[in-house]
Amino acid sequence: MENNNAEQVELTEEELLAQLDEQHRIRIEKLNDLKANGKNPYEITKFDFTHKAQQIRDNFEELEEKDVMIAGRITSWRDMGKANFIDIRDDSGRMQVYVRIDDIGEDNFKEFKKWDLGDIVGVSGFVFKTRRGEISVHAKSIKLLSKSLLPLPEKWHGLKDKEERYRKRYLDLIANPEIKDTFVKRSMILREIRSFLDSKGYLEVDTPVLHTLEIGAAARPFVTHHNALDIDMYLRIETELYLKRLIVGGFDRVYEVGRIFRNEGMDATHNPEFTSIEMYQAYTDYYGMMDLIEEMYRTVALKVCGTDTVPYQGKEIEIGKPWKRMTMKEAVKEYTGLDYDSWTSDADAVAQAKTKHAEIADTATKGEVLIELFEEFVEEKLIQPTIIYDYPVENSPLAKRKPTDPAFTERFEYFINACEFGNAFSELNDPIDQRERFTKQVMEKRKQGANAQIDEDFLTALEYGLPPTGGLGMGLDRFVMLLTDSASIRDVLLFPTMKPLSD
């Protein structure tokens, strides 16, 4: 291997160029000619543009015949001999530029004609409208600011392969500028969520990404190693336990916009790293969080989309209407006809579930049967925003038990288009109950080979006293998918996780 590398290093410039495809080779040769003539475009450090393309279009009457300076990437070229029309694109849109030999000089025009699609240029000129009525800039001078050594895909507008678009988002943004709107809207959504929570008296905080414990939660963590401390560490799978420590410490309302990492599968709604927003409020319960999330969704949808009824994958999602609220028992009864309250034992629950051909383990508890029936028969029916509350204690280790029915917890999830969008609790603040549930959770994880441990410091915090608290976690990415009508989480992540290509 070392010998091969040595041979590659010894290749001449001509031999290296010969290995490239023709267009790539030609463009590098053009760059070398520019450098040889003292015109290396990469040495230019700045260009003081005065306007963006959209500003010129929006203010044409004011700017007509006025001088402007604009900059952007050449995306099309119409050669008419001694006069050329090019389109350049900046982050606001496209602008046509008229370049004529009589205006920029013969030598400069000759050099200009050697440039390529994809090159980044700066233009000084005046605003005018062509005979066909198109707002344009008549160039007095034009300068090459950066050389594009690779051609744009299929005459710059033909990048259609989604896999390629996700892998090369920079090229996707060049070739399909309309997708930029999704990410502009994502930024707006995040800004409006922050504004909403701030207006409610919440404080945004940051908590650690690296943890020293693998906790007992269901999600699998990514493992890394801290060299100086010589210990394994875990990328966080949630922000919950640290945020609740802050409620113990005296903050009444906190939230975090946090990058989360889960070592699990990928599909249309899951990426190994994603953004969650968790919020905790002292002296309220899960009903308070129900009201909060409904108001937040309506407010953000109106601010970002101008409407609280949004199209999503062929459906009209009515965010603005009061959300339907059902207990999990009520939902299972409505969609399957099976009544939890009629089950006389765990065995009876399993037997009744099997009449619906549900795949239920014979050892399942009544709570586990209810969960399985909900996931198999109910979830897919929840198209309009729906809150499902009162979950069995079996799958809610951090939620407070219902005082009237200890088999259930004060927990809810909300669903839109058959997908879970968020999860909330009346937070468990009994340190003894919490230890028992953590212990059970950790033992289950260890049976699966995990190095799960109990977070003793969190339990210590609870022993100092956590006030009654409502907590909620929501996935930002799924909310962005909803408000941008995006079918896949990859469409709303600038750089989604991708399997590496083979060499």
Q: Tokens 């009994």 label which residue?
A: 430
Do 194 and 128 sit in the same domain of this protein?
no
Q: Exposure pattern of 253-267 as b/e (b: 16+ CB <10 Å)?
A: bbbbbbebbbeeeee
- Please name the residue ranges forming H helices in 68-119: 101-104, 106-112
More confident residue, 14 or 297: 297
Q: What is the mean pLDDT of the chain?
A: 93
Average pLDDT over residues 92-107: 97
Contact 142, 97 (CB under 8 A): yes
413 is in an annotated binding site: yes
Bridge partner residues of 496 (DSSP): none
Q: Tokens 């493992």 label which residue?
A: 223
More confident residue, 172 or 67: 67
Average pLDDT over residues 193-214: 97
Q: Would 216 be classed as within a structural domain? A: yes
Q: Would you state the pLDDT for residue 219?
A: 86
Report percent pLDDT > 90 for the chain. 84
Q: Would you state the pLDDT for residue 159?
A: 62
DSSP class of 427? B
DSSP class of 268? T
Q: What is the CATH number of the domain that holds 460?
A: 3.30.930.10
Q: Would 431 be classed as within a structural domain? A: yes
Contact 244, 231 (CB under 8 A): no
Contact 66, 74 (CB under 8 A): no
Which H/E stretch holds residue 205? none
Q: Would 349 be classed as within a structural domain? A: no
Q: Would you state the pLDDT for residue 81?
A: 93
* Residue range 290-313, pLDDT digits in tens: 999 999 999 999 999 999 999 999
Residues composing the chain: 503
420 is in an annotated binding site: yes
Distance, in Å, from the CA atom of 440 to the CA atom of 446, rounded to the nearest integer, reads 10
Q: Would you state the pLDDT for residue 502?
A: 74
Q: Say if residue 10's pLDDT is above 70.
A: no
Across 347-404, the runs of DSSP E, i.e. the strands, are 386-392, 401-402
Contact partners, residue 183, CB within 8 Å, separation at least 6? 492, 494
Q: Would 422 be classed as within a structural domain? A: yes
For CA atoms 172, 174, 177, 181, the dihedral sign is positive
- In angstroms, what CA-CA distances link 195 with 200, 223, 301? 9, 34, 13
Q: Say if residue 156's pLDDT is above 50.
A: no
Bridge partner residues of 388 (DSSP): 326, 413
Do 142 and 64 sit in the same domain of this protein?
yes
Do 271 and 126 sit in the same domain of this protein?
no
Do 227 and 275 sit in the same domain of this protein?
yes
Structure tokens at 237: 């799978």
Q: Say if residue 213's pLDDT is above 80.
A: yes
Q: Would 428 be classed as within a structural domain? A: yes
Distance, in Å, from the CA atom of 465 to the CA atom of 462, rounded to the nearest integer, reads 5
Average pLDDT over residues 186-210: 98
More confident residue, 464 or 450: 464
- In angstroms, what CA-CA distances link 8 with 2, 3, 16, 216? 10, 9, 9, 51
User: Per-residue confidence at 3, pLDDT binned at 50, 70, 90?
Assistant: very low
Average pLDDT over residues 73-100: 96
Q: Say if residue 451's pLDDT is above 90.
A: no
* Residue range 33-44, pLDDT digits in tens: 999 999 999 999
* Residue range 464-497, pLDDT digits in tens: 999 999 999 999 999 999 999 999 999 999 999 9
Q: Would you state the pLDDT for residue 501?
A: 83
Residue-range definition of the domain harbouring residue 39: 11-152
Structure tokens at 288: 């308070």
Do 219 and 253 sit in the same domain of this protein?
yes
Distance, in Å, from the CA atom of 128 to the CA atom of 94, rounded to the nearest integer, reads 15
User: Per-residue confidence at 5, pLDDT binned at 50, 70, 90?
Assistant: very low
- Please name the residue ranges forming H helices in 448-474: 456-464
Distance, in Å, from the CA atom of 399 to the CA atom of 427, rounded to the nearest integer, reads 5
Do 298 and 402 sit in the same domain of this protein?
yes
Q: Would 498 be classed as within a structural domain? A: no
- Do the bridges between strand 401-402 and strand 135-146 make them parallel or antiparallel, or are there none, so unpaired? unpaired
Q: Would you state the pLDDT for residue 4?
A: 39
Q: Exposure pattern of 328-340 as b/e (b: 16+ CB <10 Å)?
A: bbebbbebbebeb
User: Per-residue confidence at 450, pLDDT binned at 50, 70, 90?
Assistant: confident
Residue 288 burial by Cβ neighbours in a 10 Å radius (0-12, 13-18, 19+):
middle
What is the gyration radius of the CA atoms in the chain, in angstroms? 30
* Residue range 62-82, pLDDT digits in tens: 999 999 999 999 999 999 999
User: Per-residue confidence at 118, pLDDT binned at 50, 70, 90?
Assistant: very high
Distance, in Å, from the CA atom of 244 to the CA atom of 124, rounded to the nearest integer, reads 57
Average pLDDT over residues 213-239: 92
Do 102 and 250 sit in the same domain of this protein?
no
Q: What is the CATH number of the domain that holds 21?
A: 2.40.50.140
* Residue range 391-438, pLDDT digits in tens: 999 888 889 999 999 999 999 999 999 999 999 999 999 999 999 989
Q: Say if residue 373's pLDDT is above 80.
A: yes
Do 433 and 484 sit in the same domain of this protein?
yes
Q: Would 315 be classed as within a structural domain? A: yes
DSSP 41-70: GGG---------HHHHHHTHHHHBT-EEEE
Q: Which of 91, 117, 152 is the last residue of a domain?
A: 152
Work out how many domains the chain is built from and give that number. 2
Angle at which helices 476-484 and 180-199 pack, to 10 degrees? 120
Do 19 and 119 sit in the same domain of this protein?
yes
Q: Would 334 be classed as within a structural domain? A: no
Q: Say if residue 157's pLDDT is above 60.
A: no
Do 191 and 270 sit in the same domain of this protein?
yes
